[in-house]
Structure 1
Amino acid sequence: MSLPDIAKLEYTENDVVEKQQQRESRVYKTLVWDFEKGDFELRDGKTLEADGKKYLKIWIKKTLLTIKSTLIFEETEYGSEHYSLIGSNLKPTFVEEEMKRMIREALIRNSAVRSVSNFEFEQEGSRLKITFDVDSIFGILNGEVGL
């Protein structure tokens, strides 16, 4: 039994280099958001742009604060599902593993993100703080989400 033709794909080094160049040529920018005020950050009445690590930190926070498949994001894959586990009666170890998976899935959708790892969970009364590392094309970033 042999593999179907579709499984016999061969890539040249040029194909791989071209794909890498496409990934690197993407524009990674966003407007700076003030999460405490809940509005865009302004200087002299104009919005500010962020790129590089600052862009990715803002994107990560926005993504994890957005509940997946709600409101204007209903038909998209934007946001995270980890909020669905709040108040569940499941075993804490299962909940932690599911939250890791859900956060990882939400963040890996951005082509600037290579991996998400080193999760730590810290319970402070009724609040849960989750920290993690994000390996990206801009370097390693520390991420955090509180529930």
Structure 2
Amino acid sequence: MKSLHKTFTFKLVEKQLQQLEKDALEAIEKVKDLKNLKDLEVKYLGRKGSLTDILRGLKDLSPEEKPKMGQLSNKVKVALEEAFLKKEKDLENAQLEAQLNEEFFDTTIPAEIREVGHIHPLSQTQEEVERIFNQMGFAIADGPEVESEY
């Protein structure tokens, strides 16, 4: 009688895993934004998630059934993780594409012409002093900075 109970438990857990996978994949397909996707991921794969609850029940199975159920549960977990990653990438790409469509940049518009730099403060001061001396009647002579016999 006890083995019948364990078989029933094995079949029940197997059915729960299949139903969980089906429900999760349907929910993933319906998600429209990243926040809801993360919430779903926590709901199904988190520490207090549905899959974790089922996996905690594996300890009640017989030693012969544990490897089979472990393989099945890992298969479901991997399938869900892959589905979450794929949906996350799809949502990120859709979000980026929408952002690019909003932020249109016309590359044919001519660039803004900018002035090239400023006069150095010392050069500006020298030009101002020369202008003042020219106005007073002085002539500006340019020559070597140091007189040398060589």
TM range (shorter): under 0.3
Relative contact order higher in (CA < 8 Å, ≥ 6 apart): 2
TM-score normalised to the size of structure 2?
0.24
Which has the larger share of helix? 2
Normalising by structure 1, report the TM-score. 0.24
